[in-house]
Structure 1
Amino acid sequence: MRFAVGTWKNASIVVKLMIAFVLVILPLYGISIMITHTSSKQMQTEVEKAHESKLYFYHNHLQFELERMSGLVTEFSFDDTMSTLSTRAAIMSRYEVTSSLNNIHNKLGQIMVTSPYISDVVYYVPALHKRVSAADGIRNVEDGEWKDLLATMGNLNGELSYSDNNLYFLKSNPYNMNHEEPPNFILGIRLSAEELKHRLQQLAETGGSDITLSFGEQHNVVISSSDEPASAAQLQQVSPESPVSMQVTRFQSDPFLYYSLYDPDHSFTLTASIPNDVLKAPLEQYNLWLWMLTLISIVIIMIFSFSIYRSIHKPLSVLIRGFRMAEQGQTSIHIPQSRRDEFGYLYSRFNHMIERLHILIDENYVARIRTSEAELKHLQSQIQPHFLYNSLFSIKQMAEVENVELIQEFTDYLGQYFRYMSRDSHSEVSLGEEVDHALVYASIQKIRFGSRVQLQLEELSREYRDIAIPRVIIQPIVENVFEHALAKRSQGGILKLSYQVDQDKLSIRIEDDGDQLTDEILSNLQASFQESANQRSGNEEITGLMNVNQRLRIKFGTGYGLFAERSVLGGLCMILNIPWRRE
């Protein structure tokens, strides 16, 4: 938990904005998925209910038509002309029989036009060997025709009968289980299979399903809206073993979903087979919408991310990069800006801050230079009278012994020394001039100290002589050696001047063999060189070295200046580092 909180606190503003945006989008996206899923399920349920309703509608319609046909057969079976013709024919003239048959034909025609599902109405009189048809008229028949028809009565376990590929409503008078005994008459309504199929096709068109009408418990007669109807075995497989009367049952298979409705009164079954693709179409449509929503969400997130990048992350990165460059000391940077928003204000304030900082740094640099120069002049004003007194005293001693040549050499060195020290108009000189000045000072001191001091001076290579450095930076170090390391030596004093090159840095090493340097003094001296140039020591000589170190760092940077370590000679080794690059 703490790790997560810490990670969140350390995350950038852009990351936090993106996470917040995603956290807002995800619940909305989840709600959209839930709504889409619920709507698709509801739509699928409505589609299933619509198919069930269509099945119920056609069942009710067909049931009504069949009951009406059954009623017509029953009603006309009690018709006086039809019911008495067989018994009265023996006493009737031929004309009367023909007239009665024509009358019956007219009545059959009336029955036929009452329903589009009636293809024909037939009336058999076995005693007269006559058959009256609403469609075919009156003709003679053999006994085998009416016997075959009579034998099929009720063979579909209901009012309907199936004979010679046709469905009939049949009535015989009188009804006799022994079909060999001729009845007085047989009245039958033949159903139109074409019209039934046509109506099934009309219903199937609106739902993308296949509707099958089967008669008999074993689906003996099958009429389908399809040109390739299911077989009785297939219908038996998808029908329930114990069908519930007047109630739709379902059966799910791989390619289809089946709806089945059984009518026991007329022994027929309505079966609708709906492809799963049709049922899943709404779900697939909603899935398509969901994918579109997902794609739109991704596009919105990408657009939002790009806008965040352009509006916040990119300008913020420019500002951060500017601050990092400022941290590295680059005060000449400037952020170009033409924005008029908050970042435009920040850019303008940043540029103003950098300009002000550059001015303050320049002012501080100038102040430090002036302070260093003032300190240098102050030190010179203190050193020169003392040095001049010592030099004049040395000349007096040489004059007493009448050493004219040494006096000439000594005064020549003094002239060179004071001429160099009096050139205040030049703040920088070449390294060759500065080394020559330090050697002049060392030569003066060598004359004063005599054999007590030995000078080990390495010649400066010509390629380093033109390096520009601040004036009077080596002589104070040499002076410090004579004052603190060699002044009290009676013999064996050594001053060593050497040079060392390391890549882009030239080191001037000034060493002595003094025995007064303790580890504590060396540590304090090293710490003093690392401290701020604004800190001052009360020791005059140390202050002179600090002045040299400060001017070198102002000129070349903090990587250069004075560094102190113990010399291999046993005394102090002062290392003066300045930059140098080989041409």
Structure 2
Amino acid sequence: MNCLTGGNVKNPTRLSKLYVYQKVIIVFTALIIPVYFVNLLMNMMGQSFIKQEYTNSILSKVQFYSNQLDDQISFIRNQQLQAVNDSDLQKLNFLSGTLDVFEEIQLVNRVKERLSTIQNSSEYLLNTGVYMKSFGRTISTQNGINKLPNQEYETISKLYSNSKESSIYYQDGRLFFIESGNNSSVIVYLELSVKKLEKTLDQLVGNYGYSGAFITNEDFSYYVSAKQEDAIVNRIHDNFSKEQNLKNFDSRILKFGDQSYRITYNQISTLGLTLFSYVSQDELTGSLKKFNVWLLIMSIISMAIILVFSFSVKLMIHNPLKELIAAFKTLETDNLDILIRPKNDIEFGYLYRSFDRMIEKLKQSIQQNFEQKLALQHSELKQLQSQIKPHFLYNGFFNIYMMCKAKDYERVATLAQKLGSYYQFVTRSGVDEVPFAMEYRHAMDYVEIQHIRFSNRIQVVANEIPDACKHLMVPRLILQPIIENTFEHAFENERHGGNIHITVTCEKNSLCICVEDDGNKLTDDSLHSLQEKLLHSSHVLEKTGIINVCRRIQLEYGPNSGVFVSRSLHGGLKAEVIIHFNYGGGSDV
């Protein structure tokens, strides 16, 4: 036995306290979770791959459009540079004023043809023109030949005079290439079609809603954009202007507000500009939402499988076990009116049938034990009734005789009535339980008789019983023997008299009757001896009234009920009769 109950026994873990079906569900969940996470990992890897493909696709498109635009502009620029050095243009510029009309017209027409050739060489050109200082005119494909001053020359002259370092100029939504020769006496200018550029940029990101593309210079002083998103452009400028050595092309993520954008750029070397595109990540991964939906569906299905499995295990294993455990708990409350006959021949059928057979045997054993207990209670009650001492009756009649001699007829009537009521209650044999109000009244009758017997030397203070306990059914003769014990042992030979205090309290399902006296005959040894006898009342052979009452109450209401004695605050004995009606064997209202 020592090896089984030694110090090596470990405390039960939380897992061991779980129900069987809970453990099965935990194991099943532990097995299905890795499968779920493998699918989740595959989905994440697939999404990552597709996102990378989208990024590569956007980068390729940006490179393609920027290279195409670079080629177009390179061709146009070459045409412009050739036009600056064109022989007809140079001749017209140098010999203007010395040529005859016919020759001048021929040179002008050839210059116009050259400008038209350049104009028709690219769809990005809106206007091609030339200014010749000595000729005093501008020639353009859009406005023809105009004498100075004119609006077209003023626009070109103003742009050219403000900055001669760059060949590209932007003002009021218009974009120009301006090249000069012969100390600025000849200026060839090309106006690019901003709308055509915007259309090209729109084709770059036209398939996406939250997106855009723009061409800008190094300091972002101007930009051409199909969609006017100044806030995003400024954010891109703030982010990229910090970098000293910007790559020729790259792609990265930029956070802006609640949105994340894929920023892709490529430099256009011919123009000295950079082509930027931005696309919302939600737009890029919009098609991937289907994967997320399927992942959600798979998660829901996995949860549903776990729930269905849990419900099945609970239905097939836990509920039958729970029903069996509930039956055992009901049995612990001494309720034998329970059967759990199996509805069909399931695995738990044998357990159910065995339980029912055990209940039947218990009922038989308890019936036999109850009959023995009932017979014992009757025997105890009869014995208590038989303990009525003859001299108590003789003293009563003697007191009646003496009061008759003294012609105290009123007290004679009272004593006779109390004696009659007392013996009527004591000798009644048909009822084992009575309302507590009747039991209390019988005890008060006994107090009145003893009050007369002791010539008013003993005062009894008894309070009114609470209404809540008047109708409680209690065993007969449980209070009067306690009071009788006080009269006999505390004041039998006491000439100076004494006091007895009787209080009754009733709380919830418990009744407490307290009887205290102020006698001085109770020693500590006798108190301890009485406590031991009451503690083991079922094994004590003594059949005195107080022991008898304690045994009867415990037989009826359990070991927590009975008679409990201690030293009273008044100096004598304090006896408490306590009955707990919720034990299961007694009656209560």
Q: Which whole-Å CA distance do the structure 1 matches of 2:113 and 2:256 have between them? A: 53
Q: Which amino acid aligns with 2:429?
A: Y
Residue in 1 that maps onto 2:190: 189
Q: Secondary structure at the match of 2:76?
A: helix
Residue in 1 that maps onto 2:267: 262
Q: Which whole-Å CA distance do the structure 1 matches of 2:251 and 2:430 have between them? A: 111
Instruction: Describe the superposition over 1:472-530 as per-residue Cα deviations: whole angstroms up to 9, x where unpaired.
Output: xxxxxxxxxxxxxxxxxxxxxxxxxxxxxx955999xxxxxxxxxxxxxxxxxxxxxxx
8 Å CA contact 2:62–2:266 kept in 1: the answer is yes
Structure 2 residue corresponding to 1:58, chosen from 65, 74, 85? 65
Q: Which amino acid aligns with 2:116?
A: G
8 Å CA contact 2:169–2:176 kept in 1: the answer is yes
The answer to whether structure 1 residue 133 and structure 2 residue 109 are counterparts is no
Instruction: Describe the superposition over 1:369-393 as per-residue Cα deviations: whole angstroms up to 9, x where unpaired.
Output: xxx9xxxxxxxxxxxxxxxxxxxxx
Residue in 2 that maps onto 1:68: 75
Residue in 1 that maps onto 2:215: 213
- Please state how far the C-alpha of 1:55 moved relative to its aligned partner: 2.6
Instruction: Describe the superposition over 1:212-260 as per-residue Cα deviations: whole angstroms up to 9, x where unpaired.
Output: 2124x43444212223546997765333343435223658454365544
Bigger Cα Rg: 1
8 Å CA contact 1:331–1:355 kept in 2: the answer is no
Structure 1 pair 74–564 and aligned structure 2 pair: CA distance change class (3 A): same
Structure 1 residue corresponding to 2:130, chosen from 120, 123, 131? 123
Q: Which amino acid aligns with 1:308?
A: V
8 Å CA contact 2:341–2:353 kept in 1: the answer is no
- Please state how far the C-alpha of 1:168 moved relative to its aligned partner: 3.0
Q: Which whole-Å CA distance do the structure 1 matches of 2:152 and 2:539 have between them? A: 137
Q: Which whole-Å CA distance do the structure 1 matches of 2:357 and 2:252 have between them? A: 86
Q: Which whole-Å CA distance do the structure 2 matches of 1:135 and 1:117 have between them? A: 14
Residue in 1 that maps onto 2:24: 17
Structure 1 pair 170–459 and aligned structure 2 pair: CA distance change class (3 A): closer
Q: Which whole-Å CA distance do the structure 2 matches of 1:354 and 1:360 have between them? A: 10
Q: Which whole-Å CA distance do the structure 1 matches of 2:341 and 2:131 have between them? A: 111
- Please state how far the C-alpha of 1:199 moved relative to its aligned partner: 2.0
The answer to whether structure 1 residue 108 and structure 2 residue 115 are counterparts is yes
Q: Which whole-Å CA distance do the structure 2 matches of 1:320 and 1:27 have between them? A: 35
Q: Secondary structure at the match of 2:312?
A: helix
Q: Which whole-Å CA distance do the structure 2 matches of 1:19 and 1:146 have between them? A: 86
Instruction: Describe the superposition over 1:249-286 as per-residue Cα deviations: whole angstroms up to 9, x where unpaired.
Output: 65845436554433344211223345576578789888
Residue in 1 that maps onto 2:176: 168
Q: Secondary structure at the match of 1:270?
A: strand
- Please state how far the C-alpha of 1:67 moved relative to its aligned partner: 0.9
Quote the RMSD (CA, aligned, Å): 5.5
- Please state how far the C-alpha of 1:318 moved relative to its aligned partner: 1.6
Residue in 1 that maps onto 2:348: 346
Residue in 2 that maps onto 1:226: 227
Q: Which whole-Å CA distance do the structure 2 matches of 1:263 and 1:41 have between them? A: 30
Q: Secondary structure at the match of 2:122?
A: coil
Q: Which whole-Å CA distance do the structure 2 matches of 1:59 and 1:146 have between them? A: 31
Q: Which amino acid aligns with 1:321?
A: A
Write out aligned runs for 1:370-449 (5 A): none
- Please state how far the C-alpha of 1:115 moved relative to its aligned partner: 1.9
Q: Which whole-Å CA distance do the structure 2 matches of 1:19 and 1:221 have between them? A: 64
Write out aligned runs for 1:284-323 (5 A): 300-322=305-327
Write out aligned runs for 1:434-583 (5 A): 463-464=428-429, 503=474, 565-566=541-542
Structure 1 pair 131–163 and aligned structure 2 pair: CA distance change class (3 A): farther
8 Å CA contact 2:249–2:264 kept in 1: the answer is no
Q: Secondary structure at the match of 1:124?
A: strand
Q: Secondary structure at the match of 1:248?
A: strand
Q: Which amino acid aligns with 1:565?
A: L
- Please state how far the C-alpha of 1:125 moved relative to its aligned partner: 3.7
Scaled by the length of structure 2, the TM-score of the pair is: 0.53
Q: Which amino acid aligns with 1:314?
A: N
Q: Which whole-Å CA distance do the structure 1 matches of 2:42 and 2:164 have between them? A: 50
Q: Which whole-Å CA distance do the structure 2 matches of 1:582 and 1:261 have between them? A: 97
Name whichever of 91-100 and 312-321 sits farther off. 91-100
8 Å CA contact 1:117–1:195 kept in 2: the answer is yes
Name whichever of 312-321 and 95-104 sits farther off. 95-104
Residue in 2 that maps onto 1:421: none
8 Å CA contact 1:69–1:169 kept in 2: the answer is no
Unaligned 5+ runs, structure 2: 1-7, 387-422, 433-472, 479-537, 546-550, 557-584
Q: Which amino acid aligns with 1:18?
A: I
Q: Secondary structure at the match of 1:57?
A: helix
8 Å CA contact 1:152–1:163 kept in 2: the answer is no
Write out aligned runs for 1:137-156 (5 A): 137-142=144-149, 149=156, 152=160, 155=163
Q: Secondary structure at the match of 1:109?
A: helix
8 Å CA contact 1:212–1:229 kept in 2: the answer is no
Q: Which whole-Å CA distance do the structure 2 matches of 1:298 and 1:156 have between them? A: 72
Q: Which amino acid aligns with 1:242?
A: Q
Name whichever of 247-256 and 115-124 sits farther off. 247-256
Name whichever of 149-158 and 299-308 sits farther off. 149-158
8 Å CA contact 1:250–1:259 kept in 2: the answer is yes
Scaled by the length of structure 1, the TM-score of the pair is: 0.53
Q: Which whole-Å CA distance do the structure 2 matches of 1:336 and 1:34 have between them? A: 51
Q: Which whole-Å CA distance do the structure 1 matches of 2:236 and 2:313 have between them? A: 64
8 Å CA contact 2:59–2:251 kept in 1: the answer is no
Structure 1 pair 231–334 and aligned structure 2 pair: CA distance change class (3 A): closer
Instruction: Describe the superposition over 1:165-218 as per-residue Cα deviations: whole angstroms up to 9, x where unpaired.
Output: 64333444xx34x43xx24xx433221112112222332333422322124x43
Unaligned 5+ runs, structure 1: 373-427, 440-457, 468-501, 508-561, 570-574
Residue in 2 that maps onto 1:248: 250
